[in-house]
Amino acid sequence: MVAAKARAPPRTPATPIQPVETSRYLPDKTFVIDNGAYMIKAGYASHASASDESVSACSSIPNALVRTRDNKIVIGAQLATVNDWNEAMFRRPVEKGYVVNWEAEREIWDQSFFDGKVTARNRNHHIADPEDTTLVLTEAPNALPILQRHADEMVMEEWGFGGYARCLGPTLNAWNEIHSLFGDPLSNTSDASILPADCLLVVDSGYSHTTVTPVYKGQALQRGIRRLDLGGKHLTNYLKEIVSMRQYNMVDESYIMNEVKEAVCYVSNDFSGDLEQAWKSRRKRQSGPEEGIVLDYVLPDPNANKKGFIRPHDPLLHAKKKKGAVSGLSAEVLSEDVLVLGNERFTVPELLFTPGDIGMKSAGIPDMILQSLSVLPTGLHSAFLANVLVVGGNALIPGFMERLETELRQIASAECVVRVRRAKDPVHSTWLGGTRLAANREELSKVSITRQEYQEYGSGWAVRRFAGLV
Amino acid sequence: MFRVELVSDTSTATPGWSYAPTRGFDPTQAMAPTLGRKRGIRDAGKGGDISSRQANAIARHIAELDRENQRDVAIPAPVKQAREAGARGTRAKTTSNVRRILQSQKTFRNHLDDEEAAIASGSGGIGGMQGAGGASVVAQARNSIAAKGGKAAATLRRSATPASTAGAKRPAAAMADTTAGVSAPMQETADAEPDADDKPPRKPKLIKSQYDNDPLLRSYAPPVPPDRLMQRLLAEPPLSYSASRAKPPASGRPGRHFCCMCGYWGKIRCKSCHLRTCSLDCYKVHEDSSIGKELGLALSY
């Protein structure tokens, strides 16, 4: 703190003296990092008007340090080399959606973006000269100011980027081409620069939490931002807990259970009906595999180098296995471990819609959307309800969109049109929006600070600058 | 006349099971006489229908779900090799800020506690980041907004059309309840806007429907808020971390309970640990297994 004070200039420049526009140098090259808790999405923004191919310029790097069963520590992109995920332990720099531990985050960033030479493999995400690069970094809404300050200080002092913009992740989605997504007529601004959507309600359901952000002309309406402290991590852990109690002990198998979750989970559009059905098919004793809610998941076997997979439930498998080779099963089938997943498939993602199922006193996503709108002028409600965009990994759970649209339709005012859409690529949508913002140089320079400005005014100023107070 | 009796919440090891009444909307329960003294004490402060012990168990369960690993593990960052340290040499030296951040062992919980303490003492938020400098700017901005709002309101009072403007601003649409959420000064400035901007008062747009001939069934779209209001809304500082958390749902749907063994509806409750099960089959399995009480309590709710 003392050092920061000493570095900070006397109070006068902190008051709104706008730096002269001509003297500002914002590097042309723009690097966008969407620093997710689970996965970092990073890459250069291309200058050509963004298209579908620009997603290929984006690299997804796991945001974690992992200790594998054989006590090896693996970082970030190296995780792709890990074969044996049994008992893998994770350390994540991001807690509750915000970067808290910069010691770990620096390791991952250094290894991913700064270490070594430019090679064909890391060409897309290697930053050779930070001084000549503008960084667009996303953060989750309602971050603690102290954590924002840490991020600014790390970016500007540890790596020394030439330009820097810290943006609310969800707001960047408004820069994407969303008119076609909602089936609106394209505005005839094909030649003009890229502009954000007027009204967009972004539901971002990620690894650590789910947020609702009303975005008006590319800026968040802060009073309407709401957060549900449930995300993909909680779903995985909940599934892990249930399975551990009912079948095998999987408490140390976060990675494997995450894969199981991604393979089998879905959001039910008829919860009690599905529950009945799952219950009945558990009771049935028919022969052979059957179609239904209940599935078998064959756990991965790293020794045989086999990945996990799903197949229809075979109620007699257990009995057959007991009989051993007599039943005519091959040794391969006899050696495999199978999880039987029935109602777990939909009761787990159900938490996002009914957090009360684990006793949590919080509204589900549709209710949260209305809570967010309730503090905004009524004139905007219809505009936001007609433009609900869902991003984040949980949007990929089958049935999620249908359920959200149905429930929102039920509780929203009858006069309003409700349109809920999933971004074309919900995981990379925020990153893509960042690149489109970067293509609009004028807007980008409005929200950025330069290295010079940072050195002149200090990090306290930077935090207030990004909050729009200076 | 039937009588509904609540199952005792005591956790003494009573053997057996009982049907669990569905709580929440039960009107008979609302009329039930006050229950024993002990329950009153246990429920004190929580205000809800669950005991503090259950509330703690739920909180612990949610904290469990928030963990990265089941066990506490320390995964140190690998030591940088000398070669890489050499490569780092091209960069500027590590500043004291960076060193402080890297060495900080604080968790999010610690930071949040700090922030909440700062807010409680009146210096939290971004304004408090650099002491009086930031705060004064915010205060100044607030004052000027208040002054403008006041002035606009004054002109409104003097102008001849306040009643009609105000009337037009509050359409008979079904969304009336939502206006209550907008804070009072906001509403005031919103109402004052047309006069301040010297624009004709906007007419609410009629939403076309087949019932338009009936004056009672006509519905109007609320007017789009004026630009200045939007600018003011956009300039607002972010809410604090805790303030932005979603509130409990408005609809008082009773909580759902599931069988702790198979996940089906939890219809009966174990008398000794309050876990719910769906049937006697599951109850027997539950009785035989020795599941920790902690987890049991959390799941029973």
Q: Where is mean pLDDT largest: A39-53, A347-361, B138-152? A: A347-361
CA distance B201 to B195: 8
In a domain, residue A366? The reply is no
User: Which pLDDT does position B123 carry in this prediction?
Assistant: 75
Do both A56 and A167 map to the same domain? yes
User: Which pLDDT does position A277 carry in this prediction?
Assistant: 87
User: Which pLDDT does position A189 carry in this prediction?
Assistant: 53
At B298, is the pLDDT very low, low, confident or very high (cuts 50, 70, 90)? low
Do both A338 and A431 map to the same domain? no
In a domain, residue A64? The reply is yes
Do both A338 and A446 map to the same domain? no
Q: Is the pLDDT of residue B168 over 80?
A: no
Domain-ending residue, one of A344, A362, A378: A344
CB < 8 Å to B75, chain A: 65-67, 73, 89-91
Domain-ending residue, one of A323, A344, A365: A344
**Token digits for B296?**
């049991």
User: Which pLDDT does position B131 carry in this prediction?
Assistant: 39
Q: What is the mean pLDDT of residues A55-83?
A: 87
- CATH number (domain holding residue A168): 3.30.420.40
In a domain, residue A405? The reply is no
**Token digits for A45?**
């923004």
* Cβ–Cβ contact B201 with A under 8 A: no
In a domain, residue A159? The reply is yes
CA distance A388 to A184: 13
The H or E element containing residue A179 is: helix A179-182
Higher per-residue pLDDT: B45 or A142 = A142
In a domain, residue A372? The reply is no
CA distance B46 to B51: 7
Per-residue pLDDT tens digits for A75-120? 888 888 888 888 889 999 999 999 999 999 998 998 888 887 766 6
- Percent of chain A residues topping a pLDDT of 90: 45
CB < 8 Å to A356, chain B: 249, 253, 255-256
Which residues pair with residue B268 across a beta bridge?
A: B19, B277
At A28, is the pLDDT very low, low, confident or very high (cuts 50, 70, 90)? confident
Contacts 24+ apart (CB under 8 A), A51-57: A52/A424, A54/A432, A54/A435, A55/A425, A55/A428, A55/A432, A57/A124, A57/A435
At A26, is the pLDDT very low, low, confident or very high (cuts 50, 70, 90)? confident
CA-based Rg of chain A, rounded to a whole angstrom? 24
User: Which pLDDT does position B45 carry in this prediction?
Assistant: 43
User: Which pLDDT does position B12 carry in this prediction?
Assistant: 53
Those residues whose C-beta lies under 8 Å from the C-beta of residue A18, and which sit 6 or more positions away, are: none
Do both A325 and A432 map to the same domain? no
Q: Look at A56-60, A310-314, A327-331, A382-386 and tell me which has the smallest mean pLDDT.
A: A327-331
**Token digits for A421?**
């859409």
Residue range(s) defining the domain that contains residue A97: 29-176+425-467
* Chain B residue with Cα closest to A370: B178
Do both A430 and A335 map to the same domain? no
In a domain, residue A61? The reply is yes
Q: What is the mean pLDDT of residues B250-261?
A: 81
Q: How many domains does chain A have?
A: 2
Contacts 24+ apart (CB under 8 A), A119-125: A124/A43, A124/A44, A124/A57, A124/A58, A124/A59, A125/A42, A125/A43, A125/A44, A125/A59, A125/A61
Q: Rounded to two decimals, what is the model's pTM?
A: 0.80
Do both A335 and A429 map to the same domain? no
Do both A331 and A435 map to the same domain? no
Do both A336 and A437 map to the same domain? no
Average pLDDT, chain A: 85
CB < 8 Å to A275, chain B: 263-265
Which residue among B230, B250, B295 places its CB closest to the CB of A216?
Answer: B230
Q: Is the pLDDT of residue B191 over 80?
A: no
The amino acid present at A169, given as its one-letter code, is G
Do both A171 and A276 map to the same domain? no
In this structure, what are the phi and psi dihedrals at residue B34, rounded to the nearest 5 degrees? -55, 140
Do both A36 and A161 map to the same domain? yes
The ipTM value here is: 0.83
Per-residue pLDDT tens digits for B31-84? 444 444 455 444 444 444 567 778 888 889 999 999 888 888 888 877 765 445
How many Cβ atoms from other residues are within 10 Å of residue B263's Cβ?
23
User: Which pLDDT does position B245 carry in this prediction?
Assistant: 92
Residue whose tokens read 């930071």? B111
In a domain, residue A223? The reply is no
In a domain, residue A76? The reply is yes
Per-residue pLDDT tens digits for A457-470? 988 999 989 988 77
Do both A63 and A156 map to the same domain? yes
Domain-ending residue, one of A344, A375, A401: A344
Which residue among A67, A145, A229 places its CB closest to the CB of B245?
Answer: A229
Do both A50 and A162 map to the same domain? yes
At A211, is the pLDDT very low, low, confident or very high (cuts 50, 70, 90)? very high
Q: Is the pLDDT of residue B156 over 90?
A: no
How many Cβ atoms from other residues are within 10 Å of residue B262's Cβ?
21
